[in-house]
A = this chain, B = another copy of it.
Amino acid sequence: MCEANAYLRQDGKDEMLMEMVDKVIPEGDGLVLEDIFGRRKLIKARIKELALVDHKIILEKEAQEN
């Protein structure tokens, strides 16, 4: 299976958000993550990088409000 794990990158650290992600669908100002069991999470973030061979989806929050 070629699912990946989704991480939120903040301050140089990657925090695991969801394992075994199959689908990623942009929706509004966020992303719907769906794992291989059909469980969904809506995250207010955008894609920073995909590294599929490493099974990684790196997300980041929208630009900070300064």
Contacts and interface: CB of A to CB of B under 8 A. Distances in A.
The number of times this chain is found in the oligomer is 2
Interface string A15-58: 00000011111100000000010000000001111111101010
Contact of A26 (B2, B48, B52): B48
Contact of A52 (B22, B48, B49): B22
Contacts of A8: none
Contact of A47 (B3, B47, B51, B53): B47
A1 interface: yes
Given A2-B55, A22-B52, A25-B50, 7 more contacts: A2-B52, A2-B53, A22-B51, A24-B47, A24-B52, A25-B48, A26-B47
